[in-house]
């Protein structure tokens, strides 16, 4: 499923099967890496990447938070490398995964003793939560696992070692028969899902948790703009678990999932149990936006060719 022609490794395009790492790569043992999840969409003007520069800036911010002082490539070079990797693989639509990882030392648990290596892979990946999800919404649970305390792991960074927290929650959720897990922060307030941010709608008010404990999703930011265009002011405030239960609509958003309604949480139907009007409006606007069919598209899409 993830096979492609080539992977970009430290400045060179390498055939897919030759993009290998040594077993003693420290990043593999300690999770010392920073990554991004980016999407390239088919548009009328050819394949284009949604908010590419901002994703790369967040990647570099994640590396900075991790403690790397210098990276071997600049933001501009990494933006170009992503375009080049998509070109080399000939995809019209794909997921783009850049990764900065600790290599060549660092066994004493410092980033300074090793070197940051960089790779970029692309693959065709269309539906993250399944084809039915966008239409009918999904069922979620409140995870028994707590989102990271912001002084334990750095929640603004997409660091590899942050993600076992998501893996614990998502594995539990799927084994329980749900499709996604909602995680509470260390104070018990709603934080985010395993790979998405969350919004609720109640009597026309739209709420989303503040930035403190969450990854500041670029989809979340895009949805904030789209909802403002549609005349909704979104309040960023602490949200409790029972506020979700009694909401008219709850939806989640992320690069992989796009915008998806939650029709049930912890066996409680949310609102009508169908994707509600605010969720649908955000979903349709986002769908148009990433495919080059929205007034905001030009500013946020980077063409792969030309
Ligand atoms: C924990 C977490 N929250 C939220 C998001 C959504 O972020 P974005 O919209 O930038 O993909 C992601 C996905 O990257 C994530 O891993």
State the average pLDDT over residues 63-78: 98
Among residues 156, 158, 170, 202, the one annotated as catalytic is 158
pLDDT category of residue 180 using cuts at 50, 70 and 90: very high
State the average pLDDT over residues 55-63: 98
Instruction: Count other C-beta atoms under 10 Å from residue 216's C-beta.
Output: 12
Q: Is 158 a catalytic residue?
A: yes
pLDDT category of residue 1 using cuts at 50, 70 and 90: low
Contacts of 186 (CB under 8 A, 6+ apart): 146, 147, 148, 149, 150, 213
Q: Where are the beta strands (DSSP E) in 3-76?
A: 6-9, 12-15, 33-35, 38-41, 48-50
pLDDT category of residue 132 using cuts at 50, 70 and 90: confident
For ligand 1, is residue 252 a contact (CB within 6 Å)? no
Q: Which pLDDT score is estimated for 208?
A: 98
Contacts of 124 (CB under 8 A, 6+ apart): 1, 91, 93, 94, 95
Q: Which pLDDT score is estimated for 165?
A: 98
State the average pLDDT over residues 115-141: 90
Domain ranges (residues) in the chain: 6-123, 131-290
Q: Which two tokens stand for residue 262?
A: 């939650």
| Same-fold call for 6-123 versus 131-290 | no
Q: Is the pLDDT confidence value at 209 over 80?
A: yes
Residue 160 alpha carbon to ligand 1 centre in Å: 13
Of 188, 105, 111, 205, the closest CA to residue 157 belongs to: 111
Q: Is the pLDDT confidence value at 302 over 80?
A: yes
Residue 36 alpha carbon to ligand 1 centre in Å: 9
Pick the CATH number of 131-290 from 3.40.50.620, 2.40.70.10, 3.20.10.10, 3.40.30.10: 3.20.10.10
Q: Which pLDDT score is estimated for 243?
A: 98
Of 117, 107, 23, the closest CA to residue 68 belongs to: 117
Measure the CA–CA gap between 135 and 269, rounded to whole angstroms: 16
Ligand 1 mutation pick, 56, 62, 166, 215, max ligand atoms within 8 A of CB? 215
Q: What angle do CA 176, 178, 180 make, to 5 degrees?
A: 120
Measure the CA–CA gap between 245 and 87, rounded to whole angstroms: 45
Q: For 177, left (φ over 0), alpha (ψ -120 to 50), or beta?
A: left
Of 305, 297, 306, the closest CA to residue 91 belongs to: 305
State the average pLDDT over residues 162-190: 98
Ligand 1 mutation pick, 190, 254, 260, 282, max ligand atoms within 8 A of CB? 254
For ligand 1, is residue 119 a contact (CB within 6 Å)? no
State the average pLDDT for the chain: 97
Measure the CA–CA gap between 287 and 124, rounded to whole angstroms: 18
Q: Which two tokens stand for residue 238?
A: 């602490």
CB–CB of 222/197 below 8 Å? no
For ligand 1, is residue 258 a contact (CB within 6 Å)? no
For ligand 1, is residue 290 a contact (CB within 6 Å)? no
For ligand 1, is residue 255 a contact (CB within 6 Å)? yes
6-123: what fold?
A: D-amino Acid Aminotransferase; Chain A, domain 1 (3.30.470)
- Residue 261 C-beta-side C-alpha neighbours within 13 Å: 27
State the average pLDDT over residues 5-17: 98
| Structure-token match 């069922």, residue found | 139
Q: Which two tokens stand for residue 99?
A: 């990764």
- Provide the percentage of residues in the chain whose pLDDT is more than 70: 100
Q: Which two tokens stand for residue 79?
A: 């933006």
Of 202, 192, 191, the closest CA to residue 276 belongs to: 202
For ligand 1, is residue 218 a contact (CB within 6 Å)? yes
Q: Is the pLDDT confidence value at 167 over 80?
A: yes
- Residue 96 C-beta-side C-alpha neighbours within 13 Å: 34
Q: Which two tokens stand for residue 237?
A: 């405030």
φ/ψ of residue 57, rounded to 5: -65, -40
Measure the CA–CA gap between 94 and 47, rounded to whole angstroms: 9
State the average pLDDT over residues 242-262: 97
């Amino acid at each position: 499923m993830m096979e492609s022609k080539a992977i970009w490794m430290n400045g060179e395009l390498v055939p897919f099967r030759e993009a290998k790492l040594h077993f003693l790569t420290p990043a593999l043992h300690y999770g010392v890496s920073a990554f991004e999840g980016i999407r390239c969409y088919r548009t009328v003007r050819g394949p284009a990447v949604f908010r590419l520069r901002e994703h790369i800036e967040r990647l570099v911010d994640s590396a900075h938070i991790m403690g790397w002082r210098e990276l071997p490539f600049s933001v501009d070079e990494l933006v170009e490398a992503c375009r080049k990797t998509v070109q080399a693989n000939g995809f019209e639509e794909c997921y783009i995964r850049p990764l900065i990882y600790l290599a060549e030392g660092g066994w004493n648990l410092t980033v300074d003793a090793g070197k940051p290596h960089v790779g970029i892979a692309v693959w065709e990946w269309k539906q993250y939560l399944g084809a039915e999800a966008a239409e009918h919404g999904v069922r979620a649970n409140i995870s028994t696992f707590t989102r990271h305390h912001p002084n334990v792991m750095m929640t603004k960074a997409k660091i590899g070692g942050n993600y076992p927290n998501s893996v614990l929650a998502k594995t539990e959720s799927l084994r329980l028969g749900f499709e996604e897990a909602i995680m509470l922060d260390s104070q018990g307030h709603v934080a985010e899902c395993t790979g998405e941010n969350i919004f609720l709608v109640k009597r026309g008010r739209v709420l989303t948790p503040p930035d403190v404990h969450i990854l500041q999703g670029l989809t979340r930011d895009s949805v904030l703009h789209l909802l403002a265009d549609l005349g909704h002011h979104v309040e960023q405030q602490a949200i409790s678990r029972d506020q979700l239960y009694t909401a008219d609509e709850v939806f989640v958003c992320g690069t992989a999932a796009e915008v998806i309604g939650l029709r049930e949480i912890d066996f409680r139907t949310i609102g009508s149990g169908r994707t509600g009007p605010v969720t649908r409006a955000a979903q349709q606007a986002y769908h148009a936006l990433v495919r080059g069919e929205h007034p905001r598209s030009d500013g946020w899409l980077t063409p792969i060719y030309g």
